[in-house]
Amino acid sequence: MYLNGDPTTKTTIKKINDAPYRLQVDDVISIDIKSEKNEKLVAFFKKNVRTTNTVNNNTDQGYSNQDERIEGYSVSKHGTIRLPYIGEMNVLGYTTKEVRLKLEQEILKYFKDLGDIFVSVDLTGIKYTIIGEVESTGPKVIFQNRITIFDAVSFAGDIPLTGDKKNIEVWRNSPSGPKRYLIDLTEASAFDSEVFYILPNDIINVKPLKQKSWGTGTTGLQSLTTIISVFSLVTTTILLVRNL
């Protein structure tokens, strides 16, 4: 069962949703330049575009295929991308809009008339990793600009009965280091969470229910059946020992 009750703070939700994403190491961005007068510039960027292997196995609804390749520029461990003419350009911590504005200024150094040039910068997709009690663990890429934690879990095959939907753990990079968040998917208050929307490089950990850890079943009936079976086995053993 998901999303019981009502969200509590709609204002907080709006603030979280409106926060622009800032680029991190290993993000891949697409840069599209269009121009009728400066075909040389357009050709140079298309010629020098990088490709990165994807890691998924689903081509539906914007998901990638395992042998597909993402076209774009990967953010290096130094926080830079390498561009024709321009060379190394720092993008770490920038929004895609800020990268576009910075790129336009750099292009002006080589091409005087920017009026004919249209520049767009976007994330190529959202890459995350999911582990624990889901049908399909590992790194995933979804080719959308925004995805919820429900999208991320659904793409991994959903959470089986053995998974704890009330205590989902999300690890997220921040300037001060990795941060840990907990979110309860069974309550509508999940909409209020900072991790309701998944960001690139998030790690989602779906923990097992305690019943699974104890080996007593995933539902109340299964647990009761297991306990009765154990009790019956112990009783039978005692009776056999007494009759020896």
Every domain range in the chain assigned CATH 3.30.1950.10? 28-123
Q: Phi then psi for 235, rounded to 5 degrees?
A: -60, -45
d(CA 77, CA 24): 9
**116 secondary structure, DSSP code:** T
Position 239 scores a pLDDT of: 64
Residue 28: strand pairing partners: 74
Position 26 scores a pLDDT of: 86
Position 54 scores a pLDDT of: 44
Distance from chain centroid for Cα 199: 5
Position 203 scores a pLDDT of: 97
> Is residue 202 a contact partner of residue 170, using CB atoms and an 8 Å limit?
yes
Of 47, 43, 49, 54, the C-alpha closest to 30 is 49
d(CA 124, CA 224): 49
CATH number of 10-18+127-213: 3.10.560.10
Write down the residue that tokens 């300037």 correspond to: 175
Position 37 scores a pLDDT of: 75
Position 177 scores a pLDDT of: 87
Every domain range in the chain assigned CATH 3.10.560.10? 10-18+127-213
Length of the chain: 244
Of 158, 169, 172, 154, the C-alpha closest to 62 is 154
> Is residue 114 a contact partner of residue 41, using CB atoms and an 8 Å limit?
no
Max CA pair span of the chain:
101
> Which two tokens mark 226?
């297991």
> Is residue 50 a contact partner of residue 64, using CB atoms and an 8 Å limit?
no
Position 163 scores a pLDDT of: 94
Domain 28-123 is found in CATH 3.30.1950.10: yes
Position 55 scores a pLDDT of: 44
Of 170, 196, 197, the C-alpha closest to 182 is 170
Q: Phi then psi for 158, rounded to 5 degrees?
A: 75, 170
The pTM is what? 0.69
At CA 68, angle to CA 64 and CA 72, rounded to 5? 90
pLDDT tens track of the chain, all 244 residues?
565 655 555 555 555 556 788 999 889 898 888 877 777 667 766 655 554 444 444 444 444 433 344 568 889 999 999 987 788 999 999 999 999 999 988 888 777 666 677 889 999 889 999 999 999 999 999 988 889 999 999 999 999 999 999 999 999 988 788 999 999 999 998 998 999 999 999 999 999 998 655 555 545 555 556 656 666 766 666 666 666 6
Question: Residue 183 contacts by C-beta under 8 Å, 6 or more apart in sequence?
Answer: 149, 168, 170, 190, 193, 195, 196
